[in-house]
Structure 1
Amino acid sequence: MFLFVAVSTVHAQASQECAMKYNLFKQKAITKKYAEAKPDLEYLIANCPKLSVNIYKYGAKVAEKSQDPDLAKRIYETRLVNFPDKGAAKAHSDYATYLINNKLASDAEVFAILQKAYTISPKEMSVKNIFRYFKAVTEQNKDSNPQLVFDTYDDVIESVQEKLDDYNVKIAKLQAKEEAGTIDAKEKKLLNAYTINSTSLGKVEGGLDAMISEIATCERLIPIYSRDFEANKTDGVWLKRAVSRMYNKGCQSDPLFEKLAVAYADVTQSADAFNFVAGIMDRNGDSSGAASMRKKAFDLETDPLKKARLKLREAQGSSGSRARALANEALRYNPNMGKAYLFIASLYAKSANSCGTDEFEKRMVYVAALNKAQKAARVDPGCGAGRYISNYKRNIPSKKLIFQKGLASGSSHKIGCWIGETVRIP
């Protein structure tokens, strides 16, 4: 009995000491007193390694600022032992960044760590490390195993899209509060953080596309998918990715696309698959069947974000006012769908020469396009609106042109033809 009480007392004292050291350490780390925090950190790692994952989150910064690579390694390894399920992918990615920045590891060693992060959760990796990892995979496999490159691309994009969708919903709610004037200081910080993170993640798809543009062409995709179809004709994931990639790369005219899409629909019976089949029916002249198939796909889908994507895909197969109407339908299901605004912007830009009688009127069409692109950037920071905005800004009327027309900046201008929008002269 005496021994039990003594042991319990020792444990209680140790627990109190851990809590005290932890609070001291955390306060010093937060206030950037890294040198003072280091002894407390050493104590916590040695005596209280399971107390809190924050020991390692703050500890990584202490090790970095102390320029102590041995401590950084110990923090990284001890964290994974004691908290293997709490942010492990980010821990791997962050440690890889630390090694790179301090030139402490070879490319092969860094790749091995990034491989661990990717295996757990690509969306928790930093954008730079996603690019770094994917570039290595592409260089190693583009000739010998391009399918592995495509699979890696799809894993990353699907994972990142989930994260972007999550940010999209959160940003929409906070922006509504901001517009209503009911947002508090904490929520403003969250909105800013979500906007920054979404913008950063939004660069992934375009960056990865650029890396595999050499191998993701119809000329290369068609032989690969033709070769592998028989072995994968009942694999819904493989079929979805193959159909999506051929669609995105403009390979729909090849008979293989129809073969893949029909198999995808047969295997998955999904809204996404039926929508692809509807597009094929349209191209084959069966507009009535296509409309029926699209309705089937749309009614089957219950997720409003996915409903919006189906409408946008339909819009992308149309033109002019019909395409805009479909894109606006997409926005009814997801008002923060930046890609729908960008699509409308691109429709306007393509019509610039036909929607004006002189240079001024034609350039004013780009003002309407710019407005849509800027709206896209505001509501959906991860949609990649930046390059559209830059392009449209280069094409709006100059101050000199506005002066020559005898018009005033800020006055309204009605754009003609099918666009029919009133915009402000810049």
Structure 2
Amino acid sequence: MKKITYLLTGVFLFVAVNGVKAQASQECNIKYNLFKGDVTNKKYDAAKPNLEYLLTNCPSLSVNIYKLGERIAENTGDHGLAKRIYEGRLTHFPKKSPARVHGDYANYMYKNKLGTNDEIFGILDKAFKLGAKNMGVKNILRYFELVVEKYKDSDPQKVFDTYDEAVESVQEKLDDYSKRLAVLVPKEEAGTLDSKEKKKLNAARVNSSSLGQVEGGLDSKISEIATCERLIPIYTRDFEANKTNGIWLRRAVSRMYNKGCQEDPLFEKLASAYADATQSADAFNFVAGVLEKNGDKKGAADMRKKAFDLETDPIKKAQLKLREAQGARGSRGRALALEALKYNPNYGKAYLYIASLYQKSANSCGSDVFEKRMVYVAALNKALKAQRVDPGCGAGRYIKSYRANIPSKKLIFQKGVASGSSHRIGCWIGETVRVP
């Protein structure tokens, strides 16, 4: 009899507990739907009581509680609520875009002046370590600025490493958008984009442009401290410990190259070690530059071919070809840049390099001021093309410079030509453009 009594009691308790749970779950769903409706209709104050209930009683119901909750905190200026939302999301949905969430939390604190630089740095540091590629573009730059401020004197290597990781993440994002643009831009030119594709193209251009600005900001900051005078002693000191570390060598060689430190014997030492450690296309291309500098033109050409043949990614093939172009001048430089564009038609930096070659030849490709200034029209056209196909390439400043040097209306009038008429540019450029 006692056993039957215990059994019945257990069944009753099981049913009662599960009934309470079901009722609580039902209440959570009701509150959640009311909450969603209010947020959708921008009734943020009305949504707050249900949000409070959800945060307290059903915090793991849906990640949308936190996504929509951010909008409530933002629009009501409730900083305490924002803290609960960001920290609650990281607690209950730790695998749902944690890098971006940390970054957004830091951005909220920065925008609303809620924390010290050290507190904001701590949150951004977590985001960066979780994956810089998944951070918002502004937060990547803000984090790097804080790293520079914090370590530029005490630990410059920390600054260099952070810069490398940040730039690599930005470049990875840019490459992703470049691949999207390669599909969408030809459709735009053919007039076959549908409405969905137009939105994708616009998003790719906007995001690519933002990334380009961040890349420029990173370069601007690193240029303040990454001088040959500072790099050479650091890399000389750390070479032995890293002479088989492919990542360290790649970053060291790239920075020495970008800062124009190739004349120092250390550059050749780094390039050779990089090639030995990785046997990569990128490494062989640096070695080709060393061979050419030492007068071995045939060896350099063979090494470049080896690097190019080894690479399989068309975007990286384009980058290798452009690097080769940057070591050439005039028609040879243009031909190599055009080859790069065969592998990546949306490679804005290749167009910009051609534009720079034109600009450098302005004084020698015309017999009078008008003809010389028309060379800037050809350069401007290439820069505008770069901006259109690759918004992240940083074409803006080139466009501004070239546009400032095209023929004025007065000069066009004095020359006696009509605006909109064709003009053939001579010398090696050999291009026909329109008079402004």
TM-score (norm 2): 0.93
Q: In 2 relative to 1, CA 205–14 (structure 1 residues): closer, same or farther, beyond 3 Å?
A: same
In the other structure, the counterpart of 1:407 is: 417
Match of 1:350 among 357, 360, 374: 360
Give the alignment partner of residue 263 of structure 1, picking from 252, 258, 273.
Answer: 273
Q: Does 1:396 align with 2:396?
A: no
Q: Which residue of 1 aligns with 2:246?
A: 236
8 A Cα contact 2:359 2:376, kept in partner: yes
Larger Rg: 2
Whole-Å separation in 1 of the counterparts to 2:145 and 2:357: 33
Residue 12 of structure 1, CA deviation: 4.6
Q: Is 1:53–2:63 an aligned residue pair? A: yes
Relative to 1, partners in 2 of residues 1:9 and 1:415: Cα closer, same or farther, differing over 3 Å? farther
CA distance in structure 2 between the aligned counterparts of 1:293 and 1:30, rounded to whole angstroms = 60
Question: What displacement does 1:15 show?
Answer: 4.0
> Structure 1 pair 242/48, CA: closer, same or farther in 2 (3 Å)?
same
How far residue 125 of structure 1 moved from its aligned partner, in angstroms, is 3.0
Once the two structures are overlaid, the 10-residue window that deviates more, 404-413 or 4-13, is 4-13
Q: Could you tell me how far 1:271 is from its partner in structure 2?
A: 0.4
Distance, in Å, in 2 between the alignment partners of 1:8 and 1:178 is 58
- Unpaired runs of 5+ residues, structure 1, are none
Residue 119 of structure 1, aligned match among 104, 111, 129: 129
Distance 1:19 1:331, change over 3 A: farther
> 1:121 aligns to what SS in structure 2?
helix
C-alpha distance in 2 between matches for 1:22 and 1:376: 48
Aligned in 2, Cα 1:55/1:175: closer, same or farther, shift over 3 Å? farther
CA distance in 2, matches of 1:214, 1:67: 38
Once the 2 structures are TM-superposed, how far is the Cα of residue 226 of structure 1 from its aligned partner?
A: 0.9
Q: 2:392 matched to 1:382? A: yes
Which among 392, 396, 417 is matched to residue 427 of structure 2?
A: 417
- Partner of 1:183 in structure 2? 193
SS at match of 2:301: helix
Deviates more, 1:179-188 or 1:309-318: 179-188
Indicate conservation of the 8 Å contact 2:138/2:214, yes or no. Answer: no
What are the residue-to-residue correspondences of 1:74-113 with 2, within 5 Å?
74-113=84-123
8 A contact 2:182–2:344 mirrored in 1: no
Q: 2:381 aligns with which of 344, 347, 371?
A: 371
Q: Distance in 2 between matches of 1:213 and 1:93?
A: 25
Query: CA, structure 1 residues 60+160, in 2 after alignment: closer, same or farther (shift >3 Å)?
Result: same
Q: Which amino acid aligns with 2:309?
A: D
Number of residues of Structure 1 aligned to a counterpart in Structure 2: 426
Which amino acid is 1:292 matched to?
A: D
Q: Structure 1 residues 3, 194: CA separation in 2 closer, same or farther (over 3 Å shift)? A: farther
Out of 303, 307, 315, the residue aligned to residue 313 of structure 2 is 303
In 1, the alpha carbon distance for the partners of 2:183 and 2:29 equals: 37
Residue of 139, 142, 147 corresponding to 1:137: 147
3-state DSSP of counterpart to 1:335: coil
Aligned amino acid, residue 102 of structure 2: H
Q: Distance in 2 between matches of 1:74 and 1:121?
A: 23
- C-alpha distance after superposition, 1:7-30 (max 9, x if no partner): 555545544443443343333323
User: 1:318 and 1:307 mapped to 2: Cα distance?
Assistant: 17
Whether the 8 Å contact between 2:86 and 2:101 is mirrored in structure 1 is yes
Aligned residue for 1:136, secondary structure, equals helix
Q: CA RMSD in A?
A: 1.7
What's the secondary structure of 2:433's corresponding residue?
strand
Does residue 1:210 correspond to 2:215, yes or no?
Answer: no
Distance in 2 separating the partners of 1:217 and 1:5 = 73
Letter of the 1:225 partner, please give it: Y
Which one of 252, 258, 264 corresponds to residue 248 of structure 1? 258
> What is the letter of the counterpart of residue 356 of structure 1?
G
Contact map agreement 2:144 2:162 (CA 8 A) in 1: yes
Which amino acid in 2 is paired with 1:174? L
Deviation >6 Å, runs of 4+: none
Which AA in structure 1 matches 2:38?
K
The aligned amino acid for 2:114 is L
Q: What TM-score comes out, normalization by structure 1 length?
A: 0.95
Unaligned runs of 5+ in 2: 1-10
Letter in 1 for 2:341: L
Task: Tell me how far apart the structure 2 counterparts of residues 307 and 395 of structure 1 sit (CA, whole Å).
Answer: 34
- Distance in 1 (alpha carbons) for counterparts of 2:70 and 2:381: 43
Q: Does 1:340 align with 2:350?
A: yes
Q: Map of 1:2-21 to 2, 5 A cutoff?
A: 4=14, 7-8=17-18, 10-21=20-31
Give the letter for the 2:133 counterpart: K
Aligned to 2:149, the other structure's residue is in SS state helix
Structure 1 residue 61: Cα displacement: 1.4
Inter-partner Cα distance in structure 2 for 1:250 and 1:313: 14
Percent sequence identity over aligned pairs: 73
